[in-house]
Structure 1
């Protein structure tokens, strides 16, 4: 079967010739990265101008098109979501950020709001019928390459080969214009720092709010990861997974016998996700136990209506700042972009729609400034230049080490009073004075 597609197989250097000056080229999102095509396009630097590359949340240790061209004459790099490596590049002025809700990405491509000329799609080795898995990142690939002028599959020999139980995570060689293969570096891993005492205090409060049989969406970051580890040590049982990014947090719950997905009204018995980022153990798990997972695209996973059909859908994410009305900054320090909103609002809305659902934004009550003094993360208002990532209308629960505030269904004054109760004691008087003056 594969032999009939052999004419599509070319070297990365040959495939790179399809890229033209002024093109928009999609690299994808998260752990899936077109390493060979990235290097092959760089080899054409001298003959290319104004090629615009789109990606996001990259964990690959190097993006060659950025590193090779600090003047940005041949290549310009755009990110939907700033990852750790991209943040370093951004500090050098080498990354342009594009804010979006992840669930809107397929609409942007499908309805022509943005242009894609060439798609570099990282895939797993094909099976005997010519089907490839989308590896670590289903993303919105099918929508993207249906809109692209040219589609190039890059086979990564390290990628897990799962294709989704009903083909939700697979593509076929016939859908590519060209296919490249070669030697890759091992898949980069994503790790988390050891939790602080504050992380543990917050996580304990949140775990106490989770019922048996709940379906969990855990964001990336230390607090969601700590929640999972505490769940693994708890008496909770029969939990499910429907999440944007599956990680070692879910592996910890699975090993403890907590993650069974038996109570899920959809995808029963399987963990539903769009991206996978974690340790090599995590990647081995989705390879060896592929039947336990339902990887699917953004239209499916990030759909709040679908999440709302679950009972007790629980969304847990981190934040940077919240103000007394409940507005959240999840992604910036002033005008400096730290990450992106990703799917946080998608899953907060999904929790709102769910019977028994709860959406949590978790953060420490304070952070230390460079001079060592404490600054409150609960503020009177989100400061000028900072991002309001989450509107007050979507923030349901806020958790700090001092408690959990429920905001939905309350007046501005009641919201302010609830937020003050979970602020650090050193800042409560100042916050109370502001609330007294501004919320009648």
Structure 2
């Protein structure tokens, strides 16, 4: 189709026209990343002041606007969710964290609680009608760029080209103010360490709780991946996918014939997701078989109401520590931010609403301190300064290598006793003593 060719400009021209001093610029979330625009904006260091960039869960090796300006003369970087690389930047004082629940993010832009002056949106190669896919990061892009003053589409030739069911994952070139092209680096890959014997024991306990036809939401980390591997090698049938991030765990289930999506009451026959993060093989799968997927934005994927319309939703996430009331810290070590809450609360609530659904928080019962001693990850109370990511009213199932407990409907004393029962044996007496002193009958 005929397009306005004047919209096609170099990244340098787009950066010059789109960004002014004092602006807020959105880079997006996850593996989709506007690397050409990032480089072009970084080249304007010294000619701009107080430009604030939002991103999150970045797994690339560099963010040029940050690395080129450690004195923060021109640029300040903010993250919704710290990835591995952003944690390193945080240690250097180069990133500021923005707390949020992922499902609420579109409302912040739509209702103008926050502003976006320039949106740098990575898109796939267009088809002959001018439609592009949103690659591996649907995020909340449509809501964001509809609220933005200036929209730049960065065509990345390496992104999967799927556009989703009924256009759930597509945009049109006419929606951009500027369009940039160029050669890109290979897509960033996300790998995870091999599961430890403790991780495998937790995964085994959780896998036993998953029925045929379950709809899986898997967080990142070794335990969810181990659960998927066990299910792939089991006799289970007809699993579904409705998840924030689709990963190689789902690819393995598909390869073993376990992921059919045939029993889902919502998006039957499709794997539903918002982000994709994993190996090149995963990205090739998305590109090769687009008819298997319904990628969509966070308003759709993370809606607890929609998740609750499906039966047997199983949400599996990790945590840092839990206390005897069931409060969970999933994202900090004291006041030091480690990651973010992301969609964990969305899927915990969705699993609560689901008939037969179960929301699991999985963690090793202990971790080893620098001096070699063990510290319990089940604690009497979340220590001062640490984050309470999920309230006690939202935690349903808790799993360690010592067992699985369901906290639903239990009193404070009963919850504490249940938590202590799956703590490391060396800490159970101390935890039960605290429970008796603080939650016992008066």
Interval of TM-score (by shorter of Structure 1 and Structure 2): over 0.9
CA distance in structure 2 between the partners assigned to 1:302 and 1:242 by the alignment: 9
Counterpart of 1:251 in structure 2 is 251
CA distance in structure 2 between the partners assigned to 1:223 and 1:263 by the alignment: 25
Q: Does residue 1:290 correspond to 2:290, yes or no? A: yes
Contact 2:3 2:174 in 1 (8 A): no
Q: TM-score, normalised by structure 1?
A: 0.99
Counterpart of 2:353 in structure 1 is 353
Matches within 5 A, 1:315-354: 315-354=315-354
CA distance in structure 2 between the partners assigned to 1:422 and 1:73 by the alignment: 51
Q: Does residue 1:62 correspond to 2:26, yes or no? A: no
Counterpart of 2:238 in structure 1 is 238
Contact 1:332 1:386 in 2 (8 A): yes
1:165 deviation in Å? Answer: 2.0
Per-residue displacement from partner, 1:127-151 (whole Å, max 9, x unpaired)?
0000000000000000000000000
1:77 deviation in Å? Answer: 0.2
Q: Secondary structure of the equivalent of 2:317?
A: strand
Counterpart of 1:30 in structure 2 is 30
Contact 2:416 2:435 in 1 (8 A): yes
Contact 1:403 1:422 in 2 (8 A): yes
Contact 2:217 2:314 in 1 (8 A): yes
Counterpart of 2:21 in structure 1 is 21
Q: TM-score, normalised by structure 2?
A: 0.99
CA distance in structure 2 between the partners assigned to 1:110 and 1:332 by the alignment: 29
Q: Secondary structure of the equivalent of 1:4?
A: coil
Counterpart of 2:154 in structure 1 is 154
1:393 deviation in Å? Answer: 0.3
1:5 deviation in Å? Answer: 2.5
Q: Does residue 1:124 correspond to 2:124, yes or no? A: yes
Q: Does residue 1:302 correspond to 2:340, yes or no? A: no
Per-residue displacement from partner, 1:66-121 (whole Å, max 9, x unpaired)?
00111112000000000000000000010000010000000000001111000000
CA distance in structure 1 between the partners assigned to 2:293 and 2:25 by the alignment: 30
Matches within 5 A, 1:35-434: 35-434=35-434
CA distance in structure 1 between the partners assigned to 2:101 and 2:220 by the alignment: 16
Q: Secondary structure of the equivalent of 2:70?
A: coil
Per-residue displacement from partner, 1:378-433 (whole Å, max 9, x unpaired)?
00000000000000000000000000011011100000000000000000011011
Contact 2:163 2:170 in 1 (8 A): yes
Q: Secondary structure of the equivalent of 2:346?
A: helix
Gaps of 5+ in 2: none
CA distance in structure 2 between the partners assigned to 1:73 and 1:35 by the alignment: 21
CA distance in structure 2 between the partners assigned to 1:55 and 1:183 by the alignment: 22
Contact 1:5 1:173 in 2 (8 A): no
Per-residue displacement from partner, 1:295-335 (whole Å, max 9, x unpaired)?
00000000000000001011000000000000000000000
CA distance in structure 2 between the partners assigned to 1:343 and 1:181 by the alignment: 32
CA distance in structure 2 between the partners assigned to 1:391 and 1:46 by the alignment: 45
1:4 deviation in Å? Answer: 2.1
Contact 2:246 2:277 in 1 (8 A): yes
CA distance in structure 1 between the partners assigned to 2:214 and 2:388 by the alignment: 29
Contact 1:58 1:86 in 2 (8 A): yes
Counterpart of 1:9 in structure 2 is 8
CA distance in structure 2 between the partners assigned to 1:87 and 1:235 by the alignment: 40
Contact 2:27 2:34 in 1 (8 A): yes
Gaps of 5+ in 1: none
Aligned-pair RMSD on alpha carbons? 0.5
How many residue pairs align between the two structures? 439
1:7 deviation in Å? Answer: 1.4
CA distance in structure 1 between the partners assigned to 2:236 and 2:332 by the alignment: 35
Q: Secondary structure of the equivalent of 2:167?
A: coil
CA distance in structure 2 between the partners assigned to 1:305 and 1:176 by the alignment: 32
Contact 1:322 1:328 in 2 (8 A): yes
1:192 deviation in Å? Answer: 0.8
Structure 1 consecutive aligned stretches of length 4 or more whose deviation exceeds 4 Å:
none
1:52 deviation in Å? Answer: 0.1
